[in-house]
Structure 1
Amino acid sequence: MSVTPHDESFMAAAIRLSRRHLGRTATNPSVGCLIVKDGVIVGQAVTALGGRPHAEPQALAEAGEAARGATAYVTLEPCSHHGKTPPCAEALIASGVARVVISVTDPDPRVSGRGISMLRDAGIEVDAGVLEAEGRRSLAGYLTRQTKSRPYVTLKLAVSADGMIGRAGEGQVAITGPEARAEVQALRAETDAILVGIGTAISDDPLLTVRTPGLEAQSPIRIVLDPSLALPLTSKLVATARDVPVILVASEQVWPLSADAEGLPPSVLADYRGRATGLDPSFEPPTKGEVGKGRDPNSLAPVSNKSTSGNVAQGASPQPISPLVGEMPGRAEGGTAPADATDLDSRRAALEAAGVEIVYCNPYHPEILLPALATRGISSLLVEGGAKTARLFLEAGLVDRIQLYQAPVTIGADGIESPFDATDIPSGFAHMGTRIFGADRLDEYERES
């Protein structure tokens, strides 16, 4: 059977349904499924919170006997492997559906075409690739983590009419109106983690949570690039760390065991990428007996491993990225770096006692940090500031989507200049559309494949 406009209409509804649980299904993708018989939806579901049960068995259960002879519309190829739950392909076969329409095939090597083969071998008609571009957009986080071993990165900027993103020395400045700010809250709610530089964290003292009534529990993990642990203990981030997770990405030089590594940063240690970052829960930091083991004493080159090879840093700068002076602690208003080792140990202990997690992974190497975040199951990352942090990810070639808000307000001569505006979007990005929120304009751009 050829794909019809009705197929596209039902798949569009399944894709809309899938977005309901974005950012809330752990490492599993948020998938939408509709069971349709004689043009009527008899069952529908989205992947449950936490990732289980999957969408298909829930939708089939709702449809009951009506599923026999029906068509199932699924945004991602049904799984074919036995995990904590039986394969969804088997559930569809057992239900007696006559046809399955799929938007995106699953790149997971445990599935990748096997789900489709199982269905066809059982005599079920399968059509794949329906509204694939839209389906890929809704599954972007999952697909990026599967194919590139890193989160999907969205860069969000709000720019004034004179090209500024804030005013020097004044902390947070409202550039966009309430309608645009509500849209940003919705974006945070469907994102796994949000990231800012230490300069922004100190000058703005942001919460970085979701404040839309009813969605507060969907606040993303909050990440700060903080090389010298300069985040004030009185900041809102520290004060709320036990309510919503906060991760500080500190320099390897302030790693507590670095002094035992003959003065070398821990990035030169074997297995450091998965261990000292603390982002792979299967590893612990190396013990003192392991420090320096297995390294070449004549080499200061970082040790690579599987997580930083292949297409992980595709498009990224192959050379280390220098620290960004404007983001270095002590230069932003209100923050100073710890003075010595004793002060550093005290600061570290106080931050951890407040519930802040500290990981040691060069903050200015996103090509290392992002795969480490992926090992924790973080599939989507929102970069919100500041200007130098935005440039860091752009120059590394690790931004997948840009959300550029333009507002009619004027900041003036003491403004902080945006790294770009609508007239000089970085090369390699395609304009995907424009939306209007009150007096503000949102233009979205996606990296061209």
Structure 2
Amino acid sequence: MRRAVALSARGLGATSPNPVVGCVVLDATGKPVGEGWHQRAGGPHAEIHALAAAGDAARGGTALVTLEPCNHTGRTGPCAQALVAAGIARVVYAVADPNPRAAGGAATLAAAGVEVEAGLLAEEAAAVNAAWLTSVRRGRPHVRWKYAATLDGRTAAADGTSRWITSAASRADVHRLRAESDAVLVGSGTARADDPHLAVRGVPGARQPLRVVADTEATAVAPGARVLDGAAPTLVAVADDVPEERAARLADRAEVVRLPRAAHGRGLDVAALLAALYARQVRSVLLEGGATLAGAFAAAGAIDEVTGYLAPALLGGGPHALADAGITTIADALRLRVTDVTRVGPDVRITAVPATPHEER
């Protein structure tokens, strides 16, 4: 199963709006004879690739799959039936399918006399598939907030300079995160200060994400902005009450969507923005905006994962990584559970997810 989880990660950035899945097939003696992963949306599922590699050796064997085999016919046939037809005797899967349209594969397999087990390495498999699982369970994209800061939590110096706080190795790693995401999102402050490009560079074969700018007043994205260069699709979200002429000047280089303003404070309504992206098949968002936008997402309860790149440096002044998130007392702090700590060049990359109530205690 650990091999199947590793295989599933190969599909990150290529399968949306479908899940990433890995599969390993063992023969009747327990020897690995086939493996595969879901490589692209609309293509064969992981089980089909693994069964094809195994051939007749699959009969009487075991299939280990990171997600419950699907039970419906979409652009491909049901994997549960394919496993039965191949003569698989036992199926072990990590995570139950929460999608009501595709669920039921385990029951179909059991009804056909296949031995079925669930839950092996469920946490590891779910972590790789977090974007898709969030989108199914919550009906919105999974949001990963990425930031880079010094050890004292500053994202820029007092004079506004920020290039480069972290190393070239960390910046290259961010492009990997972009390549695994359906959309990259910044706010008007970042658009004005940095004129970011937001496209993926240095990742061979990467599918370019949708570049998104939350430009509430339709004034931050200038006609010659790098985000409008055509290297990747771009969406600019503006308030629904801004003058038409402001929004129209961007319409020939980007999709412009009008959204309601936030009920409290500045900016756009976060839920409406995520709903608009979800409607465009976006299932994962890399939030690269500054402190204000990150604070708005945190206040809205819309941060599912945090990846911080910490440089071994101190500034003492300058902006913090996170602005007002509606938290006024330590008891209301958004507690996180660290899932990974990795050295990236001279920097440290920390990944964390919101803690459950039990973990908070």
For residue 218 of structure 1, report the CA deviation from its aligned partner: 2.3
Among 71, 78, 85, the residue aligned to 1:80: 71
Question: TM-score, normalised to structure 2's length?
Answer: 0.89
Among 83, 90, 114, the residue aligned to 2:81: 90
Among 182, 185, 204, the residue aligned to 2:175: 185
For residue 378 of structure 1, report the CA deviation from its aligned partner: 1.1
Whole-angstrom distance in 2 between the partners of 1:83 and 1:438: 44
Whole-angstrom distance in 2 between the partners of 1:19 and 1:183: 15
8 Å CA contact retained: 2:13, 2:179 = yes
Structure 2 match to 1:30: 20
Whole-angstrom distance in 2 between the partners of 1:51 and 1:130: 27
For residue 213 of structure 1, report the CA deviation from its aligned partner: 4.3
- Structure number with higher relative contact order (C-alpha < 8 Å, ≥ 6 residues apart): 1
Structure 1 match to 2:263: none
Residue 50 of structure 1: SS of its match in structure 2? coil
Whole-angstrom distance in 1 between the partners of 2:215 and 2:152: 30
* 2:48 is the alignment partner of 1:60: no
Question: TM-score, normalised to structure 1's length?
Answer: 0.72
8 Å CA contact retained: 1:27, 1:51 = no
Identity of aligned residues (%): 40
- 1:148-167 to structure 2, matched below 5 A, reads 148-167=138-157
Structure 1 match to 2:258: 360
Residue 15 of structure 2: SS of its match in structure 1? coil
Deviations 1:116-168 (A, max 9, x none): 01111111111111101111111111111111001111111111133211246
Structure 2 match to 1:320: none
8 Å CA contact retained: 2:71, 2:80 = yes
Larger radius of gyration: 1
- 1:284-323 to structure 2, matched below 5 A, reads none
Whole-angstrom distance in 2 between the partners of 1:64 and 1:34: 13
Provide closer, same or farther for how the CA distance between residues 365 and 168 of structure 1 changes in structure 2, counting only shifts above 3 A.
farther
Whole-angstrom distance in 1 between the partners of 2:202 and 2:31: 34
Provide closer, same or farther for how the CA distance between residues 249 and 419 of structure 1 changes in structure 2, counting only shifts above 3 A.
same
Whole-angstrom distance in 1 between the partners of 2:232 and 2:341: 32
For residue 368 of structure 1, report the CA deviation from its aligned partner: 2.1
Structure 2 match to 1:429: 336
Paired residues in the alignment total 341
Provide closer, same or farther for how the CA distance between residues 192 and 213 of structure 1 changes in structure 2, counting only shifts above 3 A.
closer
Deviates more, 1:69-78 or 1:46-55: 46-55
8 Å CA contact retained: 2:176, 2:203 = no
Among 247, 253, 258, the residue aligned to 2:241: 253
Structure 1 match to 2:62: 71
Whole-angstrom distance in 1 between the partners of 2:249 and 2:240: 19
Among 299, 320, 323, the residue aligned to 1:417: 320
Structure 2 match to 1:274: none
Deviations 1:189-216 (A, max 9, x none): 111111111110111011111111414x
For residue 426 of structure 1, report the CA deviation from its aligned partner: 4.2
Structure 2 match to 1:395: 299
Whole-angstrom distance in 2 between the partners of 1:427 and 1:412: 24
8 Å CA contact retained: 1:159, 1:175 = yes
Whole-angstrom distance in 1 between the partners of 2:34 and 2:152: 51
Structure 2 match to 1:406: 310
- 1:263-342 to structure 2, matched below 5 A, reads 341=243
For residue 41 of structure 1, report the CA deviation from its aligned partner: 2.3
Whole-angstrom distance in 1 between the partners of 2:333 and 2:214: 23
8 Å CA contact retained: 1:167, 1:173 = no
Deviates more, 1:172-181 or 1:17-26: 172-181
8 Å CA contact retained: 1:31, 1:46 = yes
* 2:247 is the alignment partner of 1:348: yes
Q: Which amino acid aligns with 1:419?
A: L
Whole-angstrom distance in 1 between the partners of 2:128 and 2:339: 14
For residue 440 of structure 1, report the CA deviation from its aligned partner: 0.9
Q: Which amino acid aligns with 1:26?
A: S
Whole-angstrom distance in 2 between the partners of 1:167 and 1:364: 27
Residue 90 of structure 1: SS of its match in structure 2? helix
Provide closer, same or farther for how the CA distance between residues 213 and 404 of structure 1 changes in structure 2, counting only shifts above 3 A.
closer
* 2:213 is the alignment partner of 1:224: yes
Whole-angstrom distance in 1 between the partners of 2:36 and 2:178: 23
Whole-angstrom distance in 2 between the partners of 1:406 and 1:30: 29
Whole-angstrom distance in 1 between the partners of 2:72 and 2:127: 24
Whole-angstrom distance in 2 between the partners of 1:213 and 1:54: 24
8 Å CA contact retained: 2:155, 2:162 = no
Among 189, 194, 199, the residue aligned to 1:199: 189
8 Å CA contact retained: 1:172, 1:204 = no
Structure 1 match to 2:113: 123
Whole-angstrom distance in 2 between the partners of 1:17 and 1:439: 29
* 2:348 is the alignment partner of 1:441: yes
Unaligned runs of 5+ residues in structure 2 are 261-266, 324-329, 357-361
8 Å CA contact retained: 1:172, 1:203 = no
8 Å CA contact retained: 1:364, 1:392 = no
Q: Which amino acid aligns with 1:244?
A: A
8 Å CA contact retained: 2:336, 2:353 = yes
Provide closer, same or farther for how the CA distance between residues 135 and 434 of structure 1 changes in structure 2, counting only shifts above 3 A.
same
For residue 433 of structure 1, report the CA deviation from its aligned partner: 3.0
Residue 251 of structure 2: SS of its match in structure 1? helix
Whole-angstrom distance in 2 between the partners of 1:213 and 1:133: 27
